A and B are shown apart, each in its own frame.
Chain A
Amino acid sequence: MRRAAMLVVTALLAPGSAAAQNSVYGLIGIGFPGDPLAVRARSLGGGIGAFDPTSALNPATVAGLERLLAGGAAGTTLRHYTAGDSTVSGLRETRFPFGIFGGPIPSTPLSFALSFSTYAERTYDITTTGTQVLRRDTLEVTDRVASDGAVTDFRGALAFRPWSRLLIGAAFHLLGGSSKLTVGRTFSNQDYAPYVERSYLAFSGTGVSAGVVLLPTSAIELAASARVDGDLAITSGTRSAGSVRLPVSLSGGLRLTPAPGLSLSSTAVRRSWSRAQQDLFAPSRAFDTWEIGSGIELSRPRARGATLPLRFGVRYRQLPFSNVATQPSETVITGGTGLLLAGGRASLDASVERFHRSGGGADERGWYFSLGVIIIPVGIR
Chain B
Amino acid sequence: MKRRAVALMALASAVGLACQDIVSAPGLCPEFCPAGEIRVRDTLLTGVEPVGSYSGYLLPHEARQVQVVGPGGPAEAQAMIVFVPFNAKYAGGDTTVKDSIIRTDSLRVRLHIVRRNAGVSGVTLALHEIPITVDSATTYGDMTPYFQDSTLVATLPVPDSLVMDTVAATFPAVALRHFGPESLQVGIGVRISSPDPAFVTLASDSIAVAARITRFVQVDSSTGTTRVTRSDSWGSRFKTFVADPGGFPPPTGLMVGGATGARAFVKLNLPASIVDSTLVVRATLLVPPAQPIFGAPGDTFLLRVIALGSDFGPKSPVADTSYGGSVRVAVGGSDTVSVDITKILLLWRGNPAAPRSLMLQLEPEAASINAVELPGQGSATPAAIRVTYALPFRLPGS
Partners in one complex: yes
Number of cross-chain contacts by CB at 8 Å:
182
The answer on a CB contact under 8 Å between A183 and B40 is no
Chain B interface residue number, banded:
35 or more
A289 within 8 A of partner (CB): no
Report if A174 contacts B (CB, 8 A): no
Contact B42 A135 (CB under 8 A): yes
A234 to B397 Cα, complex, angstroms: 9
A219 in the interface (beta carbon within 8 A): no
What residues on B are CB-neighbors of A69 within 8 Å? none
Q: How far is the CA of A201 from the CA of B394 in the complex (A)?
A: 12
B398 touches A241 (CB 8 A): yes
Which A residues are in CB contact (< 8 Å) with B27? 27, 126-128, 145
> Bound complex: CA of A7 vs CA of B7, how far in Å?
13
Q: Do residues A240 and B20 form an inter-chain contact, with CB atoms below 8 A?
A: no
Residue numbers in A under 8 Å from B388 (CB-CB): 134-135, 192
Q: Which residues of A contact B42 (CB under 8 A)?
A: 134-135
Say whether A92 contacts B19, CB under 8 Å: yes
Q: Are A346 and B34 in contact (CB under 8 A)?
A: no
Looking at chain A's contact residues, the main secondary structure is strand
Residues of chain A within 8 A of B30, CB atoms compared: 283, 323
Q: Mark A182-204, 1 if CB is under 8 A from B, else 0.
A: 01010100011111010101000
Q: How far is the CA of A74 from the CA of B29 in the complex (A)?
A: 32
Verify if B396 is at the interface (C-beta below 8 Å from A).
yes
Whether B6 pairs with A4 at a CB distance below 8 angstroms is: yes
Known: A94-B19, A125-B23, A126-B34. A346 touches B5 (CB 8 A): yes
A28 to B33 Cα, complex, angstroms: 7
Q: Does A337 contact B (CB under 8 A)?
A: no
Contact A91 B22 (CB under 8 A): yes
Q: In the complex, which residues of chain A have a beta carbon less than 8 angstroms from the beta carbon of B390? A: 185, 195, 197
Chain B, interface SS category: mixed
* B282, A93: Cβ atoms closer than 8 Å: no
B residues in contact with A250, CB < 8 Å: none
Bound Cα distance A86, B21 (Å): 20
In the complex, chain A residues 304-341 whose Cβ is within 8 Å of any chain B Cβ: 323-324, 341
Report if A373-B26 is in contact (Cβ < 8 Å); known contacts: A135-B42, A242-B396, A243-B397: no
Measured between beta carbons, the chain B residues less than 8 angstroms from A283 are: 30
A279 contacts across to B, CB distance below 8 A: 397
Q: Which of B5, B15, B29 lies in contact with A371, CB distance below 8 A?
A: B15
- B8 at interface by CB-CB < 8 Å: yes
* A178 at the binding interface (Cβ < 8 Å): no
With CB as the reference atom, state the residue of chain B lying closest to A360.
B31
Q: Is the CB of B23 within 8 A of A91?
A: yes
Contact in complex: B25, A24 (CB < 8 Å): yes
User: Once the chains bind, are B21 and A4 in contact (CB under 8 Å)?
Assistant: no
A111 within 8 Å of B (CB atoms): no
Q: Taking each of B5, B386, B390, which has the highest tally of chain A beta carbons within 10 Å of its own beta carbon?
A: B5
A341–B4 CB distance below 8 A: yes
Contact A92/B22 with A74-B15, A187-B281 known, Cβ cut-off 8 Å: yes
Closest to B22 in A: A92
B137 at the interface (CB under 8 A from A): no
Contact call A4/B9, Cβ cutoff below 8 A: yes
**How far is the CB of B320 from the nearest CB of chain A, in Å?**
17
Subset of 26 A-B contacts with CB under 8 Å: A4-B2, A24-B25, A76-B19, A92-B19, A93-B21, A94-B21, A125-B23, A126-B33, A127-B24, A145-B33, A145-B34, A183-B36, A185-B281, A197-B390, A197-B393, A201-B395, A239-B398, A242-B398, A281-B397, A284-B396, A341-B8, A342-B5, A346-B8, A361-B31, A373-B9, A375-B5
Residues of B within 8 A of A (CB): 1-2, 4-6, 8-9, 11-13, 15-16, 19-36, 38, 40, 42, 279-282, 340, 342, 346, 386, 388, 390, 392-393, 395-398
A interface residues with partner B (beta carbon < 8 Å): 1, 4-5, 7-8, 11, 22, 24, 27-28, 72, 74, 76, 83-84, 86, 88, 90-94, 96, 123-128, 132, 134-135, 141, 143, 145-147, 181, 183, 185, 187, 191-195, 197, 199, 201, 234, 236, 239-243, 279-281, 283-284, 323-324, 341-342, 345-346, 348, 360-362, 371, 373, 375, 378
